[in-house]
Structure 1
Amino acid sequence: MNTPDRKVIIYDDNCPMCALYTAGFVRWGVLPRESRVAFTQLDRVLSPETVADRLDPFRSRHEIPLVDLAGGATLYGVDAMVYLLRQRIPLVGRLARARPLYRFFRFLYSLVSYNRRILVPTRKRAVAFDCSPAFHLNYRLAFIACALVFTSLATCAFGQSVAGYWPVDNPGVKMLLTGAIVWAVPTLLALIFMKEKKVDYLGHLATLVMVGALLLLPGIGLSALTAWHYPVIPVFSVLASTATMGWQHFRRMDHLELSQRWTTLWLLALSGTAAGFYTFWV
């Protein structure tokens, strides 16, 4: 039952991000393969009688636990990650002792953890230990705010890049006003007409516009590298971004069990964006 180093990390195997970064610990050599255990296989390392003593049920849903099978204290979340990473990067341990940095990384960890089902939607499974994060309004609103700030900055940068092909005054502001239709109109309609799941919907909407903005960044870099000689670059960037956001919106409405009429409304808002682009740039 025990693993060689007597510590095991217990991860949510219904969370793709959790599975990915714990697998990264194994590949990087800071965690033996047998010390990475899914919650659905918890009985491999802990007997039912000891689970309650070794794991805090609430914390385990939001902070990945690193359990000491020899009886030492269980580490959670940032503390567990620092313990593992400092084996390869001793500087991590020293940085974690700086309280402002430690608090910032705890906030960042919680921001991702409480919103991980929004970032990467997965269906709930019938398991003995439910790892789904609890709803936390403050972290949801903070996530939405961070996503919109990033999206706004990326959109402004894309506007500046597009102006290299088709010069206009204040391109960043105009692109931001154009792109804002994609999230502002659905947000307003959801706040007015959506009877339930509106905060979840807004979280998913923030995620997909952030993904759309991320897909614009390679085009910005390529345009600069090619000295703005190939206008097909921003056109392709917009098409790729739009197609991805449309697919994500459809998929996320299915996940939320909401009507695909919301996808239709979002597509209409996207048409408004195209009209705004034509008004400002043509």
Structure 2
Amino acid sequence: MMKTLQNQTLLYDEDCPLCQVYTTGFIKAKMLDENGRKSYCQLSENEQSFVDIKRASNEIALIDNQNKTVLYGIDSLLKVIGFSFPLIEKIGNLKPVKFFLKKLYSFISYNRKVIIPSTINKDVKLQCVPDFNYKYRFLFIGFASIITSIVLYYYAALLPVLPQAGSTREILIALGQLLFQSLFMLKSDKKTILNYAGNLMTVSLMGSLLLLPMLALQTVVNVPENITLAWFAITAFIMFIEHFRRVKILQLPTYLCFTWVAYRFIILLLILNY
């Protein structure tokens, strides 16, 4: 039976499904007591006097309700997990391991609003919105571009109608998409463009993940070309719907959805004719 960490409260972003899942999981697993989590926007004035609210929007905070002290990010998660599993905490606190965990945590945290966007409620004073970090945004865009390019390279091999090319083509297509869409946002500021770019690459990454089951199936049986084409078309439709949803959330012009489609048709024509 797991040991319960008493009188500790994790502050979580209620608009982040991942945050909700793992904080709820800690309570259900009895790693935290029933009052072991609290929405960031429900911080009391007393708690705000000793909690670094800016840092807590970037790194999940663990409040010690008795001593009025706070741990942030990986330190808070290691304390919760380590109370039940001391070995995990010891390993997590090793310098190289902790360095990696901190970087991974920052990568996810600073990009969580482009991974899973949410509408900002202007009526709520405290908003759990991470700071805009250029480094981690560009890293995310680069990561998503590489994964998407690799998956599309292998999926293109299943479609004889498409001329075969190196992986460089897929990377150029992914980066070209960002440049093409940015041309229609020249009146927007850099942060708005990069927020959109992050969402755009999340949609591409989601699409590549949807193609993986077909790639896996192809290693077992020979899937007919019409089925792989149909799967690709269904994936593209799902991506369009998701892109449209995100454009609405970001309150950006709807025409971005149609330029997004236009770019794909332009690229398809170029691939088929050159």
TM category (shorter chain) comes to 0.7 to 0.9
Aligned 8 A contact 1:114 1:133 in 2: yes
User: 2:85 & 2:176 partners in 1: Cα distance?
Assistant: 43
Percent identity of paired positions between Structure 1 and Structure 2: 26
Aligned 8 A contact 2:150 2:170 in 1: no
- Residue 225 and residue 28 in structure 1: after superposition, are their counterparts in 2 closer, same or farther (change >3 A)? farther
Indicate the RMSD between aligned Cα atoms, in angstroms: 2.7
Give the residue type in structure 2 aligned to 1:78.
I
Aligned 8 A contact 1:158 1:172 in 2: no
- Residue 139 and residue 68 in structure 1: after superposition, are their counterparts in 2 closer, same or farther (change >3 A)? same
Match of 2:91?
Answer: 95
1:88-144 Cα distance to aligned partner (Å, 9 max, x none):
544421321222221121111111111111111111122232211121111111111
- Residue 185 and residue 5 in structure 1: after superposition, are their counterparts in 2 closer, same or farther (change >3 A)? closer
User: Which secondary structure state, in structure 2, belongs to the residue aligned with residue 128 of structure 1?
Assistant: coil
Select which of 132, 144, 149 maps to 1:147. 144
The answer to whether residue 39 in structure 2 is matched with residue 38 in structure 1 is yes
- Residue 87 and residue 278 in structure 1: after superposition, are their counterparts in 2 closer, same or farther (change >3 A)? farther
List aligned pairs for 1:4-153, cutoff 5 A. Answer: 5-43=6-44, 48-53=45-50, 55-71=51-67, 73-125=69-121, 126-153=123-150
User: Which secondary structure state, in structure 2, belongs to the residue aligned with residue 212 of structure 1?
Assistant: helix
The answer to whether residue 232 in structure 2 is matched with residue 238 in structure 1 is yes
- Residue 225 and residue 8 in structure 1: after superposition, are their counterparts in 2 closer, same or farther (change >3 A)? same
Aligned 8 A contact 1:82 1:93 in 2: yes
Aligned 8 A contact 2:145 2:171 in 1: no
Select which of 169, 176, 180 maps to 1:177. 169
User: 1:50 & 1:239 partners in 2: Cα distance?
Assistant: 51
User: 2:71 & 2:119 partners in 1: Cα distance?
Assistant: 28
Match of 2:259?
Answer: 265
Give the residue type in structure 2 aligned to 1:52.
S
1:187-209 Cα distance to aligned partner (Å, 9 max, x none):
23415752212111211111111
Mean Cα displacement is larger for which, 185-194 or 267-276? 185-194
- Residue 69 and residue 115 in structure 1: after superposition, are their counterparts in 2 closer, same or farther (change >3 A)? same
1:29-58 Cα distance to aligned partner (Å, 9 max, x none):
322332121123334xxxx234312x1111
- Residue 157 and residue 101 in structure 1: after superposition, are their counterparts in 2 closer, same or farther (change >3 A)? farther
Match of 1:207?
Answer: 202
Q: What number of residue pairs does the alignment pair up? A: 267
